Chains A and B, each alone.
Chain A
Amino acid sequence: MAVNLLYHQNEFRLEDEMRQIEIAKKDPRQFAPLYKKYHEAIFRYVYKRVDEEEAAYDITSSVFVKALASLPRYEFRGVPFSSWLFRIAKSELYQSFRDKKAQRTVSLDSVTIVQFIDELNEDFSEEQRTTLLNSLKLLKDHQLQLIEMRFFEKRSFKEIGEIVGLTENNAKVKTFRALVKLKEIFNRTKA
């Protein structure tokens, strides 16, 4: 599984980041290094979930506007700063879907599809691929979010939990249930 370096930072880097956050709370201009550090990761998270690139840039921008405006209220309570930003991104995305400024999208690559079909204990074929894509569309959004983060973005359960507001264990249980649900839909669609 790929390691997300922005999430798995060592203690020294995390302390340094906390210092940077405290400085930025007093002087918003000092938020620039944090903006530069996380801009790409947030953009890529948003881009995978919307169909238009420009919309992804706009949403990313509003994530950082919100983050900067809310920064004085940010306190480290075990949730890393990156997860706090992803939470804001998640909420901004759903606001855009509600306002019809963006279309809910799932971005996948062929390699991930092959790996995921294997995860479902099925052999890959074009037919299975189509069935999988149709099955994903039938999942409830909270289930799709978990599948997306775990299997398509290879995030740890801890990080998933922090983004969606669950404990690590709950994230694991709910992701497993989402996978079971997807298998059910997959088998039904196939039949």
Chain B
Amino acid sequence: MIKILVDRTKPTTEEIKRHQNFETILDKASINETKKILPWYYGAVGLASFIFAIVTILL
């Protein structure tokens, strides 16, 4: 259900500025990026280890 608010108090520019936190944005964005990379990273490392083990056994 939609809620309608009339003449609601608006935070001032100063109040909004106080909520700016670029470091948090940076951290969260890099965590998200790491999460995205991790499965591929482990997959690649796993595959490389597997190939290395096969080659070692064969030699």
B2 at the binding interface (Cβ < 8 Å): yes
- Chain A residue at minimal CB-CB distance from B5: A107
Binary interface encoding of chain A residues 123-152 relative to chain B, with 1 for a CB under 8 A from any of its CBs, else 0: 000000000010011000000100000000
B3-47 interface with A by 8 A CB criterion: 3-8, 10-11, 13, 16-17, 19-22, 24-26, 28-30, 32-33, 36
Query: Once the chains bind, are A109 and B7 in contact (CB under 8 Å)?
Result: yes
Specify which chain B residues have a CB less than 8 angstroms from the CB of A104 in the assembled complex: 1-3
Q: A133 to B5, alpha carbons, bound, how many Å? A: 10
Question: CB within 8 A of A105: which of B3, B24, B26, B33?
Answer: B3
> Given contacts A39-B20, A57-B19, are A65 and B5 in contact (CB under 8 A)?
no
Asked if B3 and A65 make an inter-chain contact with CB atoms under 8 angstroms apart, the answer reads no
Is A136 a contact of B2 with CB atoms below 8 Å?
yes
**Partner pick for A103 among B3, B19, B21, B36, CB 8 A cutoff:** B3
Interface size of B as a range: 20 to 34
Q: Is the CB of B29 within 8 A of A68?
A: yes
> Quick check: B29 and A28 within 8 Å, CB to CB?
yes
| 22 A-B interface contacts by CB (under 8 A) | A31-B22, A32-B22, A35-B22, A35-B25, A39-B17, A43-B19, A47-B10, A60-B19, A61-B21, A61-B25, A65-B28, A65-B29, A68-B29, A69-B32, A104-B1, A104-B2, A106-B2, A106-B5, A107-B6, A108-B5, A133-B6, A136-B2
Give 8 nearest A-B pairs by CB, closest first: A68-B29, A65-B28, A105-B3, A69-B29, A64-B25, A137-B2, A106-B4, A32-B22
A-to-B contact residues, CB < 8 Å: 28-29, 31-32, 35-36, 39-40, 43-44, 47, 51, 53, 57, 60-61, 64-65, 68-69, 103-110, 113, 133, 136-137, 144
